[in-house]
Amino acid sequence: MVLIWDDDQNTNMPLTDLDCKNAKPTGSPIKISDSGGLFLLVQPSGSKLWRLAYRWGGKQKTLALGVYPAVSLKDARAGRERAKVQLSNGIDPGEQRKRDKRQAAIAATNTFAAVADEWFHARKDGWTEGYSSRIWSRLEADIIPAIGSQPIEKIEPPALLDAIRAVEKRGAVVLAKRLLQVSGQIFRYAIASGRAQRDPSQDLRGALRSPGAAKHRSSIKASELGDFLRTLERYAGYRTTQLALKLVVHTFLRTNEVRFGRWAEIERASDGQLQWRIPAARMKARAEHIVPVTSQVADILDELRSIAGKSEMLLPAPTNEGVISQNTLIYGLYRMGYHSRATVHGFRSTASTILNENGFNRDWIERQLAHVERNDVRAAYNTAEWLADRRKMMEWWSNYLDAARAEKEAAVAA
């Protein structure tokens, strides 16, 4: 292949900046030549475009080098020289430009953020709404701002470690460890899909601080329950928060199982009894769960319905998720004076302890807690297992709560 530089335009003197500035449009495009095939194309609209004329394999071709004045005369000449080097090395500058653009487009879809988004959407259908929301919010808050714009195949262990250590420095040691694990899953997804060669998270084993001994969630003791319920009855915050906390105490569901509840899930069973059928997608154990609705829970739901209006959600709120936030209930407990004394999850432990102490069948309790014994034959249960027995147990529990509050009220009045 013979490479011939197009010097057809070299009869004129080289351009000056003043020539470029003063070039005026006419009724048709005009070329103002510089040298070595470089010329300024002045369009009738007034736009001024740098172009480079060259020959490749005997054919006349043109390469775009930018728009004047954003690309100066000096910059355009530099572009011409780069093209000359490419031509001398047997490379067509126009085709190379197309290849570079394709590579840039591919790189844009292979950033950590882009791969993380693809990994997340490939996995989220197998998670509960609450878990998937937490996973993405953690990535979006701590990892993506640090390394999200980098090509995933070029991210080295120190860059990932810096992002994780920033979380550690806030004292969130457990979260830092979880973020490292999630990041590793994203890198391994990139390897499986051919966009990375290695997982840098593997090189960071042992680099993070130990989270120390696990801390148990604070829970209310049976002797403290009456005082708590009396305080809850006098809650001075939003009524919706108060009712949501009552719902948690009576049903001992997890936070996200309650806050993402829908009115369509409240139904009547074949025997006419009310029940709350929570879909598997929202349950931690990935199994549909039925909660018998006691008369006390029905009263709570009736009031929530009057507040929710036409919303399809039990606990609607003007948040990004359309329901009360992840922290609403725990902040409600803080407002009641129970910071470090109780957690939302702790009511599950309170209920389990009291029900076991009062002689209820352990299987009923575990089933109502939606616990799955994965290595036991009991893991293969159906949704309505022991439902009649669980309904009696839940009625006892709601009545027990009412009695505990009434006893405390009477003691205070005396």
Q: Which CATH architecture has domain 112-204?
A: Orthogonal Bundle (1.10)
**Cα distance between residue 359 and residue 170, in whole Å:** 45
Joined together, the tokens standing for residue 332 give: 């409600």
Task: Tell me which of 277, 345, 378, 400 is the catalytic residue.
Answer: 345
Helix extents (H) in 234-345: 239-251, 255-259, 295-308, 328-335
Provide the 8-state DSSP code for 150: S
Task: Tell me which of 348, 367, 390, 408 is the catalytic residue.
Answer: 348
Active site residue 284: yes
What's phi and psi for 31, nearest 5 deg? -105, 130
Domains 112-204 and 222-413 share a fold: no
Task: Tell me which of 55, 198, 284, 335 is the catalytic residue.
Answer: 284
pLDDT string in tens for the chain (414-residue length): 233 344 444 445 789 989 999 999 998 999 999 988 999 999 999 999 999 999 988 889 999 999 999 999 999 999 999 999 999 888 898 888 888 777 666 666 789 999 999 999 998 888 877 778 888 888 988 999 999 989 999 999 999 999 998 888 887 888 888 899 999 999 999 999 888 899 999 988 877 776 654 455 678 888 999 999 999 999 999 999 999 999 999 999 999 999 999 999 999 998 899 999 999 888 877 788 999 999 999 999 999 999 999 999 999 999 888 999 989 999 999 999 998 888 888 999 999 999 999 999 998 999 999 876 544 434 444 667 889 999 999 999 999 999 999 998 898 887
Active site residue 121: no
Active site residue 371: yes
Angle at 245 between CA 240 and CA 251, to 5 degrees: 120
Task: Tell me which of 134, 138, 277, 371 is the catalytic residue.
Answer: 371
Q: What is the pLDDT of residue 10?
A: 43
Task: Tell me how far apart the 2 most distant CA atoms of the chain are, in Å.
Answer: 111
Active site residue 254: yes
- Top CATH class, 3-109: alpha beta
Q: What is the pLDDT of residue 106?
A: 61
What's phi and psi for 323, nearest 5 deg? -135, 175
Q: What is the pLDDT of residue 372?
A: 60
Q: What is the pLDDT of residue 100?
A: 79
CATH number 1.10.443.10 is the correct assignment for the domain at 222-413? yes
pTM assigned to the model:
0.53
Cβ contact 367:379 at 8 Å: no
Active site residue 238: no
User: Which residue ranges make up each domain of the chain?
Assistant: 3-109, 112-204, 222-413
Label residue 104 exposed, middle or buried (CB < 10 Å: 0-12, 13-18, 19+).
exposed
**Cα distance between residue 142 and residue 125, in whole Å:** 23
Active site residue 54: no
Task: Tell me which of 235, 238, 381, 400 is the catalytic residue.
Answer: 381
Look at residues 3, 136, 113, 129 and name the one whose alpha carbon lies nearest to residue 61. Answer: 3
The one-letter amino acid code at 36 reads G
Task: Tell me which of 80, 250, 254, 408 is the catalytic residue.
Answer: 254
